[in-house]
Amino acid sequence: MNKRIEKSIQFLWILTLNMVVVFILVGCGANSSERASANEVKNGQSNTEGIVRSASTVVKDSKTNRVITSQDSFQIGTYIKISIYSDKEVPAIQFDRIFEEIDQFEKLISKNITTSEVSMINENAGKAPVKVSSDIFELIQMGIQYGEISSGGFDISIGPLVDLWGIGSEGAHVPTESEIQEALSKIDYRNILLNETDQTVFLKEEGMSLDLGAIAKGYIADQVKTLIQEEGHQSAIINLGGNVLTVGHKPNSEAWSIGVRDPKGENKDIVGILKLQDNSIVSSGTYERFFVEDGKRYHHILNPKTGYPEENHLQSVSIISEKSVVGDALSTTVFVMGLQAGYAYVESLDQVDALFIMEDGSIYGTSGTKSVFSLTNNNYNLKEFVFSTK
């Protein structure tokens, strides 16, 4: 099958997936805008070679008296939507720059592209250091830092375990215990050796494999925000497959209203609304990717210490932070930590907050969420967190 056709099919398929975060752009005609964009995406239009992308959707927002220009694409394995508020339609060439930038990052980061820098690092595991670009070097540095913070609960060398389970692919299955133990023997962020002088990365043990999926989208979203600001825009929404990053506030100085996904609901069901300005929300949940075997459900958030999907009564964790890359890394890290340790850790951080949604419908928000989160779903209960004395 032609690769472009494959991408178009993937793009249509991804539109049906549950999104982690739902936009609630109150009073700005966003619903009609989203419908128009989705219809254009179905046509598989592309202005940049190799990228499946919609034409611009342009909507006049009566509430802010601005023009919203939006484009959608399918890249880095996910659905992307960029919406920019301006006094006139944003030229397509500015979106070209954004989507080309994302495409370049995919070519560096994806371990499914044999020529990517990450693939070259993995191919040379136990053999030789690989010289990489400054972006990949910085991203791997961040990954190691979060490995240290979580004492290995977050580990970008989790590639062997991710490949073994295959969650999200047709080959998803429960591995044998011996297979899991073999994969775990190859996972240890401390065996990722960096040389800052030569800007090289070396995986110390043969069979090791990096997987930057739990941190890359956030990093890319931050780069896109920088590009939008460089073009002089002060109000925009960036959505990379549920990693949502806001640029400034609405043109009328209001905060953005962002709906937090109901992990038990359908496509656009939410548990409540967050009021955000110039910051990010990233969620990790058990509903994103999963499979069922012998009547049991297995989700994609793997614990690199146990080798199995983490089971700690959490359904999702949403991180609110200034940088999307921080939220991306922390949403996985904190989920694996669990409610008690994760809540305590987030509270120790400056300008970072979290919402924990539990299997029993309880929602716990760290202190900074009290002024920005409103519960709207009667199936959930917002509770005060109490530290366990056990």
Report pLDDT digits (tens) over 299-319: 999 999 999 999 999 999 999
157 pLDDT exceeds 60?
yes
- Alpha carbon 185 to its chain centroid, in Å, reads 27
Q: What pLDDT, on the 0 to 100 scale, is given for residue 26?
A: 37
Record: fold of 3-107+216-273: T-fold (3.10.520)
Q: Are 163 and 208 a contacting pair, CB within 8 Å?
A: no
Question: Which is nearest to 161 in space by CA: 194, 128, 210?
Answer: 210
Task: Give the integer Cα–Cα distance in Å for 249 and 379.
Answer: 30
Q: Bridge partners of 192?
A: 203
What pTM was computed for the model? 0.87
Write the DSSP assignment of 200-262 as a string of letters: EEEESSTT-----TTTHHHHHHHHHHHHHHHTT--EEEEEETTEEEEES--TTSPPEEEEEE-
Which CATH superfamily, name and number, covers 117-203?
A: ApbE-like superfamily (1.10.3980.10)
Model confidence at 387: pLDDT above 60: yes
Query: Distance between the two ends of the chain, CA-based, in angstroms?
Result: 58
Q: Which of 3-7, 9-13, 15-19, 162-166 has the highest mean pLDDT?
A: 162-166
Please compute the mean of the pLDDT values over residues 248-260 and round it to a whole number. 94
Q: Which residues are CB-contacts of 322 (< 8 A; sequence separation ≥ 6)?
A: 278, 279, 280, 351
How far apart (Å, rounded) are the C-alpha atoms in residues 187 and 161? Answer: 8
- Quick check: do 117-203 and 280-383 share a fold? no
Q: Does residue 22 or residue 239 have the better pLDDT?
A: 239
Checking if the pLDDT of 10 tops 80, the result is no
Asked if the model's pLDDT at residue 364 lies above 70, the reply is: yes
Residue 4 has pLDDT above 70, yes or no: no
Residue 170 φ then ψ, to 5°: -65, -20
Assign domain 280-383 to its CATH architecture.
Answer: Roll (3.10)
Residue 52 structure tokens = 């499946």
Q: What is the model's pLDDT at position 36?
A: 34
Domain boundaries, the chain: 3-107+216-273, 117-203, 280-383
What average pLDDT does the chain have?
88
Taking only the tens place, the pLDDT of each residue in 48-58 is 455 689 999 99
